[in-house]
Amino acid sequence: MWKMIKDFHIEMSRGLAGRPSSLKMLPAYVDRPTGREKGKFIALDLGGTNFRVLDICLKGSGASSKPRAMKFVLKKKLVKGSADPLFGFLADSISRFLRKEKIGPARAIDMGFTFSFPMKQKGVASGSLVLWTKGFNVRGVIGKDVVALLKKALDKKGLGRVRIAALANDTVGTMVARSYSDPHCDVGVIIGTGTNACYAEKLANIRKLNGPKMGSMIVNIEWGNFNKLEKTSYDKKLDASSDRPGEQVLEKMVSGMYIGELARLVIKGLIGKKAIFNGTSSPGLEKAYNFRTEYVSEAASDRSHNLGKMKSRLKSLGIPNSTLEDRRTVKSVCEMVSARAARVSGAAVAAVITKMDPTLSKMHTVAVDGSVYEKLPRFSKNIAKALQEIFGRKAGRIRLVLTKDGSGKGAAIIAAVAASGE
Ligand code: BGC
């Protein structure tokens, strides 16, 4: 973990200076909020299997209303198709939301758009996609401004009055949402289908940015792409058969998109060595990505004497006669894959915090969201344990706080910051 922290710092500094690095260190053109931001905003959230639209009222003094929200499922053909159908669908969904919530033409609409992919920004209200991750692969978007693409689709639907005031990565949204009421919050982390983090950096340290050097700005690290990590043979196999070999190396060890697949590859390896199931596999276990990350959760939470839940899960995967010993082995495989993911995340959090505050001289809140962090048994505990191993008692100065659905609210707050700056 210490080696990882050292390499992480080197890559962070390179990225901030605009030199080649696996960490892109993308400036977000927004700083932490004051908590006094006010007004009604619509927030959009794109980055996983659903597109969400929310209506949020920020009350100032760190409080906000419970958002009214609608979810729209993104079909596979939309996330693997071309730009027009995807942005047309987003515009349609927004229009349905406005109708349902009876938000008529009388209300000016300022939107904050959470876009959970790496993007290069030149200001808070625009950004061009750097690359797709998490299984998205929509033609004609890389290198384009996603705000302009959405605006064009909205205009086509007669929604020209909608203004996209801010664009933010989900980590930035999550950090901003927590910062609204917590002045110690200076890191945002997502560990879900994908993984990433952002933090508050001094402008003087963002050497690739020209302009004022006073104050600070949030930087989207894109830590999923960190590549100074020791790979096992399983990591190498997973990478070689992935959409983009060589990219998102840390993400492929940590995030929900890959944890199940890693466990499947280890299980297959053990079958090959005749260490489990008498050396017999099944079509269910041979199929890539068929052992889902939820099954890893299920295995880790099965505390029954005969591991009954796992027995039926293995049965459904075509292994009807597992022995208790087999199931114990599969359970520990799942726990190991999950524990490694948590330790890699813990070391990454430690690196980000020591970049800002090498001696841990003050308190830090880390706003965290994502299904892996929230749902994988012992995941958050294992991160805390890793931080304790690294920092000893000083780990008490770091507080990880689950910030559920923060990214939508955060986008609204950023829209408010942007609107007030005009
Ligand atoms: C993306 C990040 C995003 C993260 C969490 C990664 O795959 O590259 O931009 O923040 O997933 O959603």
- Domains in the chain: ranges and CATH: 24-182+405-416 (3.30.420.40)
Q: Is 228 helix (H, G, I), strand (E, B) or coil?
A: coil
251 C-beta closer than 6 A to ligand 1: yes
117 lines ligand 1 (CB under 6 A): yes
Output the pLDDT for position 242.
93
| C-beta of 48 in contact with ligand 1 (< 6 A) | no
Q: How far apart are CA 260 and CA 254, in angstroms?
A: 10
Residue nearest to atom 11 of ligand 1 (CA): 194
pLDDT for 418 equals: 86
Q: Is 170 in the pocket of ligand 1 (CB under 6 A)?
A: yes
Which residues, in sequence order, are bridge partners of residue 57? 40
Q: Is 116 in the pocket of ligand 1 (CB under 6 A)?
A: yes
C-alpha span between 337 and 375 (Å, rounded): 15
Query: 119 CB less than 6 Å from ligand 1?
Result: no
| Residues 233, 297 contacting (CB under 8 angstroms) | no
Q: What is the pLDDT of residue 211?
A: 83
CA of 237 to the centre of ligand 1 (A): 22
pLDDT at 107: 79
Q: Ligand 1 center to residue 24 CA distance, Å?
A: 12
Q: How far is it, in rounded angstroms, from Cα 417 to Cα 34?
A: 9
Ordered DSSP codes for 19-52: -S-S---EE-S-----S--EEEEEEEEESSSEEE
Report the separation in Å between the CA atom of 221 and the middle of ligand 1, taken as the mean of its atom positions: 10
Q: Is 398 helix (H, G, I), strand (E, B) or coil?
A: strand
pLDDT truncated to tens, each residue of the chain (422 aa)?
A: 999 999 999 999 999 999 999 999 999 999 999 999 999 999 999 988 899 999 999 998 888 888 899 999 999 999 999 999 999 999 999 999 999 999 888 777 899 999 999 999 999 999 999 999 998 999 999 999 999 999 999 999 999 989 999 999 999 999 999 999 999 999 999 999 999 999 999 999 999 998 888 999 999 999 999 999 999 999 999 999 998 899 999 999 999 999 999 999 999 999 999 999 999 999 999 999 999 999 999 999 999 999 999 999 999 999 999 999 999 999 999 999 999 999 999 999 999 999 999 999 999 999 999 999 999 999 999 999 999 999 999 999 999 999 998 888 999 999 998 887 65
Note if the pTM is more than 0.75.
yes
Residues recognised as catalytic: 134, 170
- Out of 195, 374, 403, mutate this one to test ligand 1's pocket (max ligand atoms within 8 Å of CB): namely 195
Pocket probe mutation, ligand 1, options 24, 222, 368, max atoms within 8 Å of Cβ = 222
Q: Which residues contact 377 (CB under 8 A, 6 or more apart)?
A: 297, 300, 301, 338
Q: Tell me which residue has its CA closest to atom 7 in ligand 1.
A: 194
Residue 79, sorted as left (phi over 0), alpha (psi -120 to 50) or beta, turns out to be alpha
Q: Which residue has the tokens 């029954």?
A: 304
* Pocket flag, ligand 1, residue 406 (CB < 6 Å): no
Would you say the CB of residue 189 lies under 6 angstroms from ligand 1?
no
Phi and psi (nearest 5°) for 213? Answer: -110, 5
Residue 170 alpha carbon, nearest atom of ligand 1: 10
Residue 175 backbone zone (phi > 0: left; psi -120 to 50: alpha; other: beta): alpha
Q: At 134, is the secondary structure helix, strand, or coil? A: coil
* Cβ 196 under 6 angstroms from ligand 1: yes
Q: How far is the CA of 331 from the centre of ligand 1 (A)?
A: 28
Structural tokens at position 349: 């959090």
Residue among 344, 324, 330, 421 nearest 387 (CA): 344
Give me 277's structure tokens: 């199931």
Question: What's the CA gap between 292 and 193, in Å, rounded?
Answer: 12
Identify the pLDDT of residue 181. Answer: 94
Residue 96 Cα to ligand 1 midpoint, Å, equals 27
- Closest protein CA for atom 9 of ligand 1: 117
Mutate to test the pocket of ligand 1, among 196, 250, 258 (most ligand atoms within 8 A of CB): 196
Q: What is the pLDDT of residue 422?
A: 52
